[in-house]
Structure 1
Amino acid sequence: MRRCLIFEQDRSGVIQSTRVERNSVQQSRCDIIILGGGPTGLALALALGGIGAEVLVIEARPLEQLADDAHDGRVTAIAAASQRMLEAIGAWEGMAAQAQPILDIEVGEPGTIGRVHYDHAELDEGPLGWIVENRLIRRALIAALAACPGVTVEAPARAATIDRDPSFVRLTLEDGTRAQAPLLAVCEGRFSTTRGRLGIRARQKRYGQTGIVCTLAHEKPHHGLAVERFFADGPFAMLPMIGSADDPHRSSIVWALEDGLAADVGALAGDAFAAEVQARFGDMYGRLTLSGRRWSYPLVLVRAESYTTDRVALVGDTACGIHPIAGQGWNLALRDVAALAEITADRLRLGLDPGDAAALAAYAGWRRFDGTTLVAVTDGINGLFANDVFPLALARETGLAMVEHLPPAKRFFMRHAMGLLGDLPRTMRGALV
């Protein structure tokens, strides 16, 4: 026997989970199978479950971890277009109260005239984005599943075999449970094992950098300002957060350092670590103190050689995992989700096969350019600011200064950061799938 998780919400708003015992020989037939129950996989499940599609999510982690509400220190930058999508699929309501609006962004290189200040008031589009704790994103997505009875989550579960024929992809889970659908979406993250099992190769680039992530409390308010500074040893971002009862003024940092230096900095005691951050950031927010623990992870670019294969679509970091330098990782993933959901929903409404060659070609064609562009931008920016060769240093200083004094260029870059440019799926414009 295995357990299936169906999420419901009681009258007080508390998320409840119902575990349904299933015989291990049961076979499920649905419209789409999603491998991976993280934020990307759950967003795809919500987008399609909201139109009545039968969706099966298979997640390797235990149920308790999937719905865990513990603070883990990590945050995500949600662009304006991504917020519209989350609202359209019913997930934004559950995180809106704890979402910190980004009203201004300051980008610069210390010690130079290279600096750009982006002010949301220069556009009539609302905040430039929002900063939300990862745990609150997970909780909101799970809560929204209560309105999607067609979505079933199997956890913990793993696919033992994946077989495909001209019409279906068939999975057998490790306990013998079988499932089939015309389309399989792989949302396992950049180090997906299923991607390789399906014969899709991925190119990796190790930056030799480690990202340090933590929350800092500070004396003065941030006023919704996000700061990104480029140091010779790596980029540093200070992202505004909603305050807590203990710390009314908080920000999250994402600090990329050369691996050896990151190990040394990460080993510092809390006060010494905060002092090191203070030395780089300055006194703009008053005294900085560490709030909670620190996390670190290696920075690796992963790019799949193909977004699709027979009956399969790669989504989010499984297809393209980028450097965090621009805070666009999950926004790129949500554009994948929105595109695949729109194509799939349209074909289901017309009675067409959502996983045939035409559907997959449409998805890959829609998403390939966006992924390629962001890889080039994030990889290029990281390399540009990590190099102190005089011509490059002069070029980046001059470039930032020029953008600061060219309002049309500033508005273009703001709209790009907000995710408002390009061929946007319907949900990114605030419409339903």
Structure 2
Amino acid sequence: MSFDTDIAIVGGGLNGPALALALAGTALNITIIDAQAAQTRAAADFDGRSYALALTSVRLLEGIGLWEAVAEHAQPMLEIKVTDGRAGEGPSPFFMHFDHAEIEEGPMGHMVQDRYLRAALMQAVEAAPNITVMNKTEVVAQEADITGITLTLANGTQMRARLCVGADGRASGTAARAGIKRTGWAYGQTALVCAVAHELPHNGIAHQFFMPPGPLAILPLTGHRSSIVWSETAANAARIHALPDAQYLDVLRPRFGDFLGEIELAGARYTYPLSLSLAHSMVAERVALLGDSAHGVHPIAGQGLNAGFRDIAALCEVIVDAQRRGEDFGAGVALARYQEWRRFDNASLALATDSFNKLFSNDNPLIRMARDIGMGVIGALPGLRRTFIREAAGLNGDLPRLMRGLPL
């Protein structure tokens, strides 16, 4: 039976194109089906959105030939400081301090602005001869069988592929059409996201300040700028987001503090409702899910995109190894290897972020005392501290070859 493409990737955000590029060196034909228009994917101006890429995610980008295009715009994260407290009162004396000098591999990660990463992905995809992009195209039906999967597009045309990969977000149509159910709940929190310019240098230090309504992350960008991911109750976030810029900053300042001097907004402001969404399975017949399609987690540790990149590296390795053995990479046997590799890790991440959010997003004095003492203990024990540093860098666990700096 003939195929229109070997792998159809539904979703053109970051994970979909990254997967396509990771497979571009193979003999496979890859098609990205994106419901959005191309111009919405590559805005030239800084809009305030950025990503904390763990060391292993940087290795992935190096392995697919993308890191050189964004490296000059990336800010290394050299230290992470985690504190607890209330807005306007300053942090607790108990804290965790992680320094990249305690591991041999280098910076724990880098901060990269969305505009540079997205543009680099799009340019590389356009230059790859075996990748086709279909923009403003929606999949409305899919039917899998023993040899492949048929996708029906909104215009009535059909596409036959060996494997369909869902990279279409938490409300994944790919997962729903495959009959994969989800578990999840809303946190009653909203993330306020922006970037600020400040007077003093950040010295590559990332800060996580836990407050009763939710955490505030201050993440270093290039120059005297930082990315802000600020969680509030949904009602408070709606009220704050509706304020003019000057009043928005007035609310932010007592939470942010004055350790970086005066601050001002740099780019647009966004809000994202926070929730947990975990697919019951990462695979179905001729279907594999990755990124938010499989696991949407709280941004408390900034690991959402990094988990998606781990999915990409693992799925690519499973596909390539199956090909080398002469196997059908879209069949259940191969997809089961991907599921076994990534399912526990992703479920553990979801549980950890959910537990951390519940532990820190409250003002119970006994719980506050316990968590502050816990942070102090972790910060005082070098072995335990090093474990957390390696976790932040993405170095723990069974890493795919691309995340160990090895070729596929």
Read off the aligned partner of 2:183 and give its amino acid letter.
R
Is 1:167 the equivalent of 2:147? yes
TM-score, normalization: structure 2?
A: 0.95
Deviations 1:279-302 (A, max 9, x none): 122211000112232111100111
**Which deviations, in whole Å up to 9, do the C-alpha atoms of 1:96-134 show, x marking residues without a partner?**
110111011100113422201111111111111111111
The correspondence for 2:342, drawn from 333, 350, 367, is 367
TM-score (norm 1): 0.90
SS of 1:49's equivalent?
coil
Q: Where does 1:95-106 land on structure 2 (aligned, <5 Å)?
A: 95-106=70-81
Pair 1:312 & 2:287 matched: yes
Determine the structure 1 residue equivalent to 2:364.
Answer: 389
4+ residue runs over 4 A deviation: none
**Does 1:232 find its partner at 2:212?**
yes
Quote the Cα distance in structure 1 between the aligned partners of 2:329 and 2:49. 35
* Cross-structure match for 1:380: 355
Q: CA deviation at 1:227?
A: 0.4
Alpha-carbon distance in 2 for matches of 1:388, 1:282: 20
Alpha-carbon distance, 1:28 to partner: 5.5
Distance of 2:400 and 2:162 partners within structure 1: 22
Give the one of 33, 44, 47 matched to 2:22: 47
Among 207, 221, 227, which residue is 1:241 paired with? 221
Question: What secondary structure sits across from 2:238 in the alignment?
Answer: helix
**Paired AA for residue 113 in structure 1:** P
Counterpart amino acid of residue 325 in structure 1:
I
Matched, 1:199 2:170: no
- The amino acid that maps onto 1:164 is A
Q: Which of the residues 252, 264, 281 maps onto 2:256? A: 281
Q: Distance in 2 between matches of 1:181 and 1:432?
A: 26
Q: Give structure 1 stretches of 5+ with no counterpart.
A: 1-26, 244-248
Q: Which amino acid aligns with 1:317?
A: D
- Correspondence 1:346 to 2:321: yes
Which whole-Å CA distance do the structure 1 matches of 2:165 and 2:209 have between them?
Answer: 37
Give the AA of the match of 1:220: L
Q: Is the counterpart of residue 221 in structure 1 residue 225 in structure 2?
A: no
Give secondary structure in 1 for the equivalent of 2:216.
Answer: strand
Q: Percent identity?
A: 45
Counterpart of 2:88 in structure 1 is none
Distance in 1, matches of 2:323 and 2:28, equals: 8
Preserved contact between residue 94 and residue 139 of structure 1 (Cα < 8 Å): no
Contact persistence 2:46–2:267 (CA under 8 A): no
Say which SS state the counterpart of residue 265 (structure 1) adopts.
Answer: helix
Query: Residue 37 of structure 1 corresponds to which residue in structure 2?
Result: 12
SS at match of 2:115: helix
Amino acid paired to 1:326: A
Separation in structure 1 between the aligned mates of residue 10 and residue 385 of structure 2, nearest angstrom:
39
* Aligned 1:146-157 pairs, distance under 5 A: 146-157=126-137
Q: Distance in 2 between matches of 1:269 and 1:29?
A: 51
Are residues 1:115 and 2:95 paired? yes
Q: Could you tell me how far apart the structure 1 residues matched to 2:218 and 2:172 are?
A: 29
Q: Does the alignment pair 1:400 with 2:375? A: yes
Corresponding position of 1:298:
273
Q: Which residue of 2 aligns with 1:129?
A: 109
Deviations 1:138-163 (A, max 9, x none): 11112222552111111121123211
Aligned mate of 1:184, from 129, 145, 164: 164
1:80 is aligned, of 52, 55, 60, to 55
Question: 1 CA distance for matches of 2:140 and 2:356?
Answer: 41
Match of 2:386 among 406, 411, 415: 411
Deviation track 1:1-27 (CA, whole Å, cap 9, x = no partner) reads xxxxxxxxxxxxxxxxxxxxxxxxxx9
Structure 2: how far apart are the matches of 1:159 and 1:306? 21
Q: Which residue of 2 aligns with 1:425?
A: 400
State the distance in 1 between where 2:332 and 2:3 align: 23
Equivalent-residue separation in structure 2 for 1:235 and 1:422 (angstroms): 26
1:58: which partner in 2?
33
Q: Match of 1:60, as an amino acid?
A: A
Q: CA deviation at 1:174?
A: 2.0
